[in-house]
Each structure stands twice: as C-alpha cells, then as structure tokens.
Amino acid sequence: MRLASVEPVWPRTRTLGAMLIVAVAYYVGVRVGLDLTMRPNPVSTMWPPNAILTAALLLTPARAWWTVVLAALPAHLAGELSEGIPLTMVLCWFISNASEALIGAGAARLLEPVPRVDSFRRVTVFLVSCVFFAPFASSFLDAAFVAWNRFGTAGYWEVWRTRFFSNALATLALVPVILQTATARLDRLRDVPPRRYVEAGALTLGLLATCTTVFLGRLAPGTGTAFLYAPLPFLLWAAVRFGPGGSSGSLLVMALFAIWAAIHGQRPFDATSSSMNALAVQLFLIVTSVPLLTIGAVMAERRRVEQALRGSEERFAVAFRSSPDAFAIARQSNGHIVDVNERWEAMFGYTRAEAEGRSPAELDLFLYATDADRFNAHLVSPGHGHEIELRLRSRSGAVLQAVVTAQSVVMADKPCFLIIIRDITDRRQAERELLEQREELAHLGRVALLGELSAALAHELNQPLAAIMANARAGQRLMARQPPDLPEVRNILEDIVADDRRASEVIRRLHALLERGELQLQSLDVNEIVREVLGLMHSELIQREVLVHTRLAPVLPRVPADRVQLQQVLMNLLLNACDAMGERPREERQATITTAWANGDAVMVSVADQGTGIPEGKLENVFEPFFTSKQHGLGLGLAICRTIVAAHGGRLWAVNNPDRGATFHLALQPDAHDAG
C-alpha cells in the first residue's frame, strides 16, 4: 500500500502527547454533542467525537491508530456514563463511533495520503470517504445498537437518518478545520501582509454580525427562510480569498449559530417537531458546506498553480535575460520578434526596440538565402527541437557561425518560438587551426619517416636507374655495329621504358608522402594499401632481414580514408615491428599483417611482431608524445598515428602476444555504401 512506504515513525513521547490531546478533545466533543441533542431523540444534531477521532486518525501514522482509539475510550466512558446512559449503550456507541472513524480515515488515506482538503482531488476523497461513505456504513450498526438496547423512542430508520446526517455534518464542520490547523505552517504567518489581517478581521466581524441577526435575532414571521442566504456572501468571501482554511472556519461558525437556533426553535428552524428541526438544519448546513469547501479547495489549488506559474515565469525571465546564449521570442504566425535578451543585442548589434516587430529576415541576419530557407524549414518541421548550424551576420556585417534551435512556447496566449542561438565562431576557428596543426604534424611525421627509409628508398631508386644506364650503353654498342641490330635495340628501349616507369613510381610515392595537403577521404581497399606499403618498404625489409607474412581477407568493405595518411600509419607500425625485432636472430624476425572484417562493424588491420613486447602497464603510454624505447627515437610516431586514426573515426591500440612480441590493432569504420 502506498501509505506504508511514506508514513513516519513517531517517537514514544509524541505518541503519548497525541493520545492525551485526543482524549481531552474527544471528551469535550462528547459533552458538546450531548448538549446538542434534541430530546427525546437519542442522537445528537451534530456529534463531534466521531469527527475528532477521524481527524486524529488522518493525522496519525496507521501503525499508531490503535493508540488513538484506545485514548478515546476513557474519554467516551467518562463523558456518557455521567449522563446516566447504560453501560452497554455507551460501549455500543463507542464501537460504532470507532468503526466510522476507521472506515473514513482508512479509505481516505488509501486514496490520498496527504491529510488536507486544499485541492479538488483531496476534497473529493474527503467528501466521499469521510463525509458520505463512513457515516452511511456505520449508521446501520449504530441504529442496530440503539434498537437492541431499546434506547429512546425513535425507530430504526429514524435513528439511522438522524445519525447519518449528524455525523456527516460534524465531519464537514470539524475535520477540515482540524486538518488545516494541524498542518498549517505557523512560520508563514510573519510573511502575511497586514492588509490580509485587516481583511480577515472584517470578514469575521461581518459573518458574526450576520449570523447573530439571522439565527439569534427576532425575525418577522415568513422572513426566516429568506434571511438564511444572508451569510452566503461572507462564506463565498472566505472561500475565494482564504481558501480551505477560510471556508471551513466560516462554515463552523455558521453551523454553531444555526444548530443553536434549531435547538431553541428559533426562526427559520421553528418546526413543531424537534426531529424535523434537526433534519432541516442538518440538510441546510450540509448542502451549504459541500460546494463552499469545494470552492475553497479549487481556489487554493488555483493559487498554487498561479504561484508555480509565476515562479516559473520569473525563473524563465532570469534565465532569458542572463543566459550566455542569444535568446529571441518570435510569433509563429508571422515570425516577428517579440523579445530578445541582452546577449542577442550584443551578438547582432540591434537593440530590443529595433528588433521587436521585425523578423530575422527583415533584419538581414542570414548570410545566405539558403540559410534562411533552412531556418524556416527547421521551424515548420515536427522535430524542430534539434540543432542546426547556420551562417549569420551582425548589423556591422561580421560573419557568425551559430548553432540554432527552436522550441514552441505560448506567450500571452499566443503560440511563439523560443529561438536559442549559440555563437560557435571561435570554436570553429579553433577547430580549423587544430586541423591545420594536425595536418602539419602528420606531414612532419612523414618527413621523419622517409628520413628513416632514405637508404632503402635510394636503393629502390638506384635499381631502375642502374638498369637504364646498362641498357643505354648496350644499345650504343648495338647501334655501332654494321649493320645495327635493330630488333635487339628495340628490346633494349622497351626495358629502358619499363625501368623508367619503376623509377617514376618510386618518385611519385615519395612525392605523395612528402606533399603537404588537407585530409582527402577516398573509398579505399585496405588490402591494396597494405600491398602499396610493402612495395615502398621492400628494400628496407630486405636490409633489415625481416620476413613479412600477409593474411589478407579476400573480401573486405572499403573504408573512407586518406590514402597517404593510412600508408603513413601502416609504415610506422611496420617499422616499429622491425625495430622491436632488431636484436632477434634473423630466422625469428618475422612480422604478420592481417586484415579482417571484425564483428560486422569495423575493418581491422593488425601488425604483429616477434619482438620483446611492451612492458606491463605501458600499453597506453606508447601512444603518448615523446614516450620511446628507442635510443635515438623522438617518441612521436605512434602519437601521430593515433591522432591520424582518430581523425578518421577509428581506433588504434596495442596488446602483447601470448608467447612473445606485440600486436598493434587498427579499426576503421567501413564505407556506409559498402558495409552492407
């Protein structure tokens, strides 16, 4: 049950204090209820003890209800036995009283754990559970007890009716007052302005004077019924201006006056039968109380909503005015600006007065017409809460890069857009500078890499040049013969062309690696890149006596990458593998390059060596700038490689092999059009 999870645990001293208060209040209620009984009826016109017990249960944790009921028992016995009522009747009445309080409080707490009547839901739960259902059900038991004890002269249904209306009236008149008083925050009284005290005093005096005139005065015959409506303006005043506390308090005052008039046969309650008088005043007060309590609750709920709305508007106004982003409010109907904050004024150079009543297009805030079209399309799209990036300009002509988002809001009952503009001009400039620095670093890395490969590349270039020289001299000798051997010369010239192409290819690759340029993404075959790198490093691998095995997947998705930068990464990894195996015997200097389509979401390239491996705990440190295990290394190669891979949206990491050596893994995202 929801109640069990939230109710507090009372200390023993508080429980004992509550028992004492309940006992005293219940005893006073018994004495008042007996005084309000119209003899010879056995049931009081308004019976306060049940209402007091119900209110006490609503304010008490359920686990302590037995102490509340126990505290009421001696007060009940003391109050009724002194009037000469038989003990069995007294005990039976206590059973019916306790059953009513338990039924009403249990049903109310089950449906609404907060014991107040300051909202429409709470007052409805209170009326249904405590005012109607509990008295209705327990009155059958009470009337049966009266009949069984042969107490009084009234019949079963008359007792049931009188008892039902008596307890319903008492619950209406007393429980809201007790609940509002017990749960009121006294510390807030100091914040109440003096005019509210003056208004409350005027209301109280007016209500007392009216009730005195209507219920205690000597009214002319036939005028009593009309005067019953005289207190209504004051009751409405209390409900509208003072909420549940005001309505419940004023209703209690009027109820006491009206019951006194009914008991004493005063107009308008001057029927010949006491039971008819009791019924008349009960119906009058119940019919009056229910709508007024509801009005008071609705007004309190409305005030809370208004306060919450006012607080929300104040918080919004503070956020709107002090936000570091530019805010503008524009009408959805025509796009005209309603309000802007100071940041918007500083960003675009227009004052609030100059911007109001004009649209962003009229202020010429868009750098290009396409930006205006994108902005307007964004506003009418169903999900316009997402961000779009636009190029804007200020009044002075300064170009701004901005992220813009819009939310639908209602201002002064009119649909508007709350437009939020964040200036990212400096961020984009910093990103461009970072990209340029990254490209410069990659270029320097390639230059350093080619420095390491210079001897091998010179050998790679000398081979076709030497062949060209040898073929050219042989051709000269053949041409010197008489007659010249033209077919053989033709073959020699074809060999020269082939060797020239080999030399040109080496020079082309060197030029591509040395060239500085922006990142150029192409759809590449990773296997082809591996073959190109092995071709470039062919002589270097021979000089270092390193044997490279390849395990290339036959079918791989293509990847979007820069060819030169991807070659640079693989060359670095392969050179590091060669360095790691430099002190190994020649037959153990073996590296393996593997390509694979891993888990269906990444193209993997792995470079494994049979070297010394990476020290434990240093697997991530090798990618840090200036971290190196080489005697003459700078420690920038792997740092540059990881930067390049990250710029491609990939990952680069290292693991030690189970036996010896290490493996560097490169994961790249596949081309979106080729992954499927």
607-623, pLDDT tens digit by residue? 999 888 888 877 777 77
For residues 501-513, average pLDDT: 59
Q: Would residue 190 be called left, alpha or beta, if left means φ above 0 and alpha means ψ between -120 and 50 degrees?
A: alpha
The Cα–Cα gap between 23 and 25 comes to 6
pLDDT recorded at residue 627: 55
Return the top range by mean pLDDT from 144-153, 171-180, 537-546.
171-180
Interhelix angle for 65-81 vs 48-58, to 10°? 160
What DSSP element (H or E) covers 246?
Answer: helix 232-263
Which of 62-71, 543-552, 562-571 bottoms out in mean pLDDT, i.e. has the lowest? 562-571
Phi, psi of 657, rounded to the nearest 5 degrees = -75, 155
> Confidence band (pLDDT; 50, 70, 90) for 445?
low
**Is it the case that residue 221 has pLDDT exceeding 60?**
no
pLDDT recorded at residue 5: 43
> Confidence band (pLDDT; 50, 70, 90) for 60?
confident
What is the four-CA torsion angle of 202, 205, 208, 212, rounded to 10 degrees? -130
Locate tokens 């025509």: which residue?
A: 334
Report DSSP state, residue 625.
T
The Cα–Cα gap between 571 and 637 comes to 10
Interhelix angle for 156-183 vs 134-149, to 10°? 130
Percent of the chain with pLDDT over 90: 6
> Confidence band (pLDDT; 50, 70, 90) for 643?
confident
Task: Tokens for 502, please give them.
Answer: 């080999």
Peptide bond into 40 cis (omega under 30): yes
**Of residues 72 and 488, more confidently modeled:** 72
**Is it the case that residue 178 has pLDDT exceeding 80?**
yes
What strands, in cross-sheet order, belong to the sheet with 651-656?
Answer: 547-551, 590-598, 602-608, 662-668, 651-656
Distances (CA, A) of 150 to 205, 235, 245, 623, 671: 46, 41, 41, 99, 96
**Is it the case that residue 168 has pLDDT exceeding 80?**
yes
For residues 552-559, average pLDDT: 89
The Cα–Cα gap between 69 and 23 comes to 9
pLDDT recorded at residue 456: 47
Q: Would residue 588 be called left, alpha or beta, if left means φ above 0 and alpha means ψ between -120 and 50 degrees?
A: alpha
Q: Are 524 and 561 in contact (CB under 8 A)?
A: yes
What DSSP element (H or E) covers 342?
Answer: helix 342-348
**Is it the case that residue 23 has pLDDT exceeding 70?**
yes
For residues 358-372, average pLDDT: 87
The Cα–Cα gap between 210 and 208 comes to 5
**Is it the case that residue 633 has pLDDT exceeding 70?**
no
pLDDT recorded at residue 4: 40
> Confidence band (pLDDT; 50, 70, 90) for 2?
very low
For residues 455-470, average pLDDT: 57
Q: Which residues, 6 or more positions from 402, have their beta carbon under 8 angstroms from its beta carbon?
A: 389, 390, 391, 392, 421, 422, 423, 424, 425
- Residue-wise DSSP of 31-76: HHHHHTB-TT-SSBSS-HHHHHHHHHHHTS-GGGHHHHHHHHHHHH
The Cα–Cα gap between 651 and 411 comes to 49
pLDDT recorded at residue 660: 86
pLDDT recorded at residue 605: 92
Locate tokens 């991530």: which residue?
A: 620
The Cα–Cα gap between 613 and 616 comes to 9
pLDDT recorded at residue 460: 52
The Cα–Cα gap between 170 and 153 comes to 23
The Cα–Cα gap between 445 and 164 comes to 95
Q: Would you give the distance in Å from CA 527 to the centre of its chain?
A: 47
> Confidence band (pLDDT; 50, 70, 90) for 361?
confident
**Is it the case that residue 577 has pLDDT exceeding 70?**
yes
Q: Are 109 and 134 in contact (CB under 8 A)?
A: no
Which of 262-271, 318-327, 376-385, 465-474 bottoms out in mean pLDDT, i.e. has the lowest? 465-474
pLDDT recorded at residue 231: 87
Task: Please state the pTM of the whole predicted model.
Answer: 0.55
Distances (CA, A) of 349 to 188, 306, 317, 346, 560: 46, 36, 21, 5, 43
Report DSSP state, residue 377.
H
Distance spanning both ends of the chain, measured CA to CA? 53
pLDDT recorded at residue 222: 52
pLDDT recorded at residue 334: 85
The Cα–Cα gap between 250 and 242 comes to 10
Average pLDDT, the chain: 79
Helix, strand, coil content of the chain in percent (nearest 5): 60, 10, 25
Percent of the chain with pLDDT over 70: 79
Locate tokens 């009058």: which residue?
A: 284
> Which residue, 331, 315, 312, is CA-closest to 406?
331
pLDDT recorded at residue 442: 56
Phi, psi of 452, rounded to the nearest 5 degrees = -65, -30
**H-type alpha helices, 408-525:** 425-452, 454-480, 486-514
Which of 233-247, 566-580, 621-635 bottoms out in mean pLDDT, i.e. has the lowest? 621-635
Beta strands 547-551 and 590-598 are parallel
The Cα–Cα gap between 57 and 130 comes to 11
For residues 8-36, average pLDDT: 81
Which of 6-15, 186-195, 337-346 bottoms out in mean pLDDT, i.e. has the lowest? 6-15
**Is it the case that residue 3 has pLDDT exceeding 50?**
no
The Cα–Cα gap between 308 and 241 comes to 18
> Confidence band (pLDDT; 50, 70, 90) for 1?
very low
The Cα–Cα gap between 604 and 598 comes to 6
Tell me the per-residue pLDDT of 516-538, one tens digit each, with 9 for 90 and over: 555 577 888 989 989 888 877 77
The Cα–Cα gap between 68 and 76 comes to 12
